[in-house]
Chain A
Amino acid sequence: MGASALGHVRICDFTGQLAGAGATRHLAAFGAQVIRIEDPVRKGRWDILRGSPPFKDERRGNEFGAAFQNHNVGKLGITINMRTERGRELLTELVRISDVVTENFAAGVLERMGFGYEQLRAIKDDIIYVSNCGFGQTGPYSSFKSWGPIAQAVGGLTLTSGLAGREPAGWGYSYMDHHGGYFMTLGILAALCHRSRTGEGQWVDMSCTEAAAALLGPAVLDYTVNGRPTRREGSPDSNRDATGTMVPHGIYATAGQDNWIAISCRDDAEWAALAEEIGASWATDARLARLADRLAHQDALDADIDRWSRDHDRFELAARLQARGIPAAVVARPGERIDQDPNTAAWGLWPTVDHAAMGEVRVDGMPVHLSETDWVIDRAAPVLGADNEYVFGEILGLSASEIAGLADEGVI
């Protein structure tokens, strides 16, 4: 194993769900020591994913939620009862030797526990504190609750996913929980860069809805510059290309049940190649040769392509179009992209970890490879309190009997 990129970073981690836990997961994979703190009284269940589906087998309970497992690989897990004075002392000691404190509670929760930014800073002057919640810690909606679909709705992503003349299709999963985690990761890393240069820590107040709204810039500008609203006749129609440079650009039926192919032609030459593959007179018609003409006849063109493609096997068709240099891909089912795609296998995209309760489980890997300090995912999520002895003993220097005493007194 090579060097790790973030081996010099220790994170005191209160995150949960995906939007928060996803962030520290990435940093752990690059070598940061992430110490996940959970409540022994409620058995860590503020993160509801701990005991939620999906499950690997028939076993249920606090250590069997596969989503929690997926989002917390590579982390250490300890328990601290923050209601006790000794518990708060232990947290204070941990903060003093940490670089970053992370959380995605509702706004203000950590502060009410006595560990807001000012208190954290009093413990360690250059601490980096990153909070991540749906609407941020300030502003009229700061007390509003959120999860992925709400951030997606308010940020504009739900409306901009759909076909013309229909209600919004939205995103069929919590896209913004993933991206909330990505942008939180970026915030943590940027704050570390700032500290490397200046020696200063800081507070990063992340808002998932802002991160979502920042993903739709050209649509916002079309309104603020040209006065054109997104809600208008024929819009949104998100399978089409919003830049007006690619036609055809769509998802078309293929042979079989619920089988689809995505095709886009980036220029007139790629359209000419597709027309040749289609081989019918409607396609090779000179009146479709130029982009402007295809834009004007896009509805009819899409209907013709759909009639043509539905007789073809989607995998064979995608291969034939790729051979002509045309961007095309099947709409892949989960099993197809996970178990049958040679590219994800060659990448090592689905590593296996050995979980103390669940046994062997496959998890999401990382979509990057670094030549000198690549990621490593070889450690499952911690079961509740799995690393109490290591963290309180090796890192904070308590004796075995002291640790046993803390457990007896309900502190950990």
Chain B
Amino acid sequence: MGPLNGLRIIELSSDGAAFAGKLLAELGADVIVVEPPGGSPQRAYGPFLDDQPGPERSLYWWHYNTSKRSVVIDLDDAAPGGGRDTFRRLVAGADALVEAERPGRLAALGLDYADLRAVKPELIHCAITPFGRSGPRSDEHATDLTVLAGSGPVWSCGYDDHTVPPVRGGGNQGYHTGGVWGAISVLTALQHRSAGGPGQFIDVNMHAASNVTTELASYGWLVARREVQRQTGRHASPRPTDATQVLCADGRYLNTGVPPRKPSEFKVLHEWLVELDLTDEFPLAVLLEMGGQYEHIGMAEIEEDPMIGEVFGAGRDAVALIASRLPAHDAFVGFQQRGLPVGAVFAPEDIVHDPHFVARGFPVEVDHEDLGRSFTYPGASVRLNGSPAVPPRRAPHVGEHDAEVLGTAG
């Protein structure tokens, strides 16, 4: 039974609210996603099952709506007993509402927080919008791409070559960053309520969320007005730094992490070079043996002592040489087993067969009984050992739960 068992969340289906709803559903809340007549526009997002579009075939919809229930409500229907009344009735039985409508839309429908709290005083209403509900840019039009461009991530991502555009990382991470803050805020407000506090309104600002999710790019500027510059496959930096992405023997890449600085690390690196019979190709091997004698190599020493700088450089070059001679996964496991932190550049789907992720039960089978098949999905972002969520259910069909949630009079 999940940790949020017993909580009911209403989600108005949209790009901005989908991930917050998914996180809450993964944790065991009863999340009811409200779709307009004809179904959520997200059902038209690819990719599709067998590449054939259709409202029940969107893999995007499948992923973001696992374990949710679906009802169809026409919020444009203002007639007594119509869609708006149905929605109010639904909210009256819920703990929280999560939505990402354009500022002003719900107020125009008579369904904003001021209206809904009259129906349900202890309601927690969470609005996720590109720039917050008010403020000078709240009316701007935005997508994941434009939010990430305007709020910092894109400036820091891309290539050493600045004649090609900077890059928006994949996977709609602007929506995710806003979404996880939506889920965090809802649980924070619920904690307050369970300690005797009232319901409340939560204003989540996607643009602000990505602004404070850029590490050094923000606080380097905040404290010292240092502007970072993007670099291929590694941290953007005020000063150029050495490459950390190596092409391995199988055409895949390895992130070589922080170069060795401890004597034990130089020692194992030297031993591995010997084992791989690469010392003839690496005249600097002798420096690695020297590296075994230093107690610790700090960044200050590297800059001040030329000899230490040479040793440090030899360690970095040895890591790159070994990585280039092995398949990426062998290099990853080999370095890590020797205590050197590196990472293979996996494709998202590599976790499906990887022994570690499989051993931890991260990939999960989701039954699509409607198709007579089951498919492997990535598991939950966070799992609670003491209250594991029930295995995920497939995303709902359009209005699949109208009858059980809204009753026949729906």
B-chain residues with CB within 8 Å of residue A66 when the two chains form the complex: 219-220, 222-224
Chain A residues, CB < 8 A from B222: 66, 70, 338, 350, 361-364
A146 and B149 within 8 A (CB): no
Q: Determine if A105 is an interface residue (Cβ-Cβ < 8 Å).
A: no
B266 within 8 A of partner (CB): no
Q: Are B213 and A178 in contact (CB under 8 A)?
A: yes
Task: Give chain A nearest CB distance to B189 CB in angstroms.
Answer: 6
Within 349-370 of A, Cβ neighbours of B (below 8 Å) are at: 349-350, 361-370
The answer to whether B227 and A334 have CB atoms under 8 Å apart is yes
Q: Which of B143, B171, B180, B379 contacts A219 (CB 8 A)?
A: B171
Contacts A67-B216, A225-B375 given; indicate if A332 touches B155 (C-beta within 8 A). yes
Chain B residues contacting A173 (CB-CB under 8 Å) are 156, 214-217, 228, 235-236
Residue numbers in B under 8 Å from A6 (CB-CB): 188, 191-192
CA of A197 to CA of B385 in the docked complex: distance in angstroms?
A: 16
A56 and B222 alpha carbons, distance in the complex (Å): 9
Interface-lining segment among B59-67, B71-79, B281-289, B305-313: B59-67
Given A171-B169, A329-B149, residue A141 in contact with residue B356 (CB < 8 A): yes
CB pair B376–A56 under 8 Å, yes or no, is: no
Answer whether residue B38 sits at the interface, using C-beta atoms and an 8 A cutoff: no
How distant is the Cα of A175 from the Cα of B142 in the complex, in angstroms? 21
Chain A residues whose C-beta falls within 8 Å of the C-beta of B5 in the assembled complex: 197
The answer to whether A271 has its CB under 8 Å from any CB of chain B is no
B385–A183 touching, CB < 8 Å: no
How close is B3's CB to chain A, nearest CB, in angstroms?
A: 4
Q: Residue-by-residue, is B338-356 near A (CB-CB < 8 Å gives 1, otherwise 0)?
A: 0111111111111110011
Q: Is A210 an interface residue (CB 8 A)?
A: yes
A168 touches B245 (CB 8 A): yes
Q: Number of A residues contacting the other chain (C-beta, 8 Å)?
A: 156
Contact with A along B31-54 (1 / 0, CB 8 A): 000000000000011110111000
Contact of B157 among A148, A171, A191, A230 (CB under 8 A): A171
Which A residues are in CB contact (< 8 Å) with B16? Answer: none
Q: Does A298 contact B (CB under 8 A)?
A: no
Q: Which residue of A lies closest to B147 (CB)?
A: A329
Size range of the chain B interface in the assembly: 35 or more
Q: Are A163 and B165 in contact (CB under 8 A)?
A: yes
Contacts of A9 in B (CB 8 A): 191
Whole-angstrom distance between the alpha carbons of A211 and B224 in the complex?
Answer: 32
Q: Is A77 an interface residue (CB 8 A)?
A: no
> A376 near B: Cβ within 8 Å?
no
Given the known inter-chain contacts A222-B59, A262-B149, please indicate yes or no for A373 contacting B204, CB distance below 8 A.
no
Knowing A149-B235, A362-B222, say if A5 contacts B378 (CB, 8 Å). Answer: no
B181 at the interface (CB under 8 A from A): yes
Q: Does A18 contact B (CB under 8 A)?
A: yes
Contact B189 A5 (CB under 8 A): yes
Q: Smallest CB-CB separation from A195: which chain B residue?
A: B3
Instruction: Report Cα–Cα, A242/B172, bound state, in Å.
Output: 9
Residues of A contacting B165 in the complex (Cβ-Cβ under 8 angstroms)? 163, 239, 250-253, 260
Interface string of B379-391 (1 = CB under 8 A from A): 1111111110000
Q: Roughly how many angstroms separate A9 CA and B332 CA in the complex, as a whole number?
A: 40
Asked if B377 contacts A217 (CB within 8 A), the reply is: yes
A330 to B343, CA, bound (A): 33
B234 within 8 A of A: yes
| Interface assignment of A74: CB less than 8 Å from any CB of chain B | no
Question: How near does chain B come to A101, taking the closest CB pair, in angstroms?
Answer: 14
Question: Chain A's nearest CB lies how many Å from the CB of B111?
Answer: 17
- Can you name 9 extra interface pairs (CB under 8 A) apart from A173-B217, A242-B170, A262-B149? A145-B336, A150-B343, A157-B170, A179-B177, A214-B380, A220-B349, A242-B46, A364-B212, A369-B203
The 7 closest A-B pairs by CB, nearest first: A202-B386, A150-B343, A262-B149, A172-B156, A156-B348, A160-B170, A153-B343
Interface pairs (22), CB distance under 8 Å? A55-B224, A56-B223, A160-B170, A170-B345, A172-B236, A182-B181, A183-B180, A202-B386, A205-B383, A215-B176, A216-B170, A220-B377, A243-B45, A262-B168, A264-B146, A322-B141, A333-B155, A347-B208, A363-B219, A366-B208, A368-B204, A370-B185
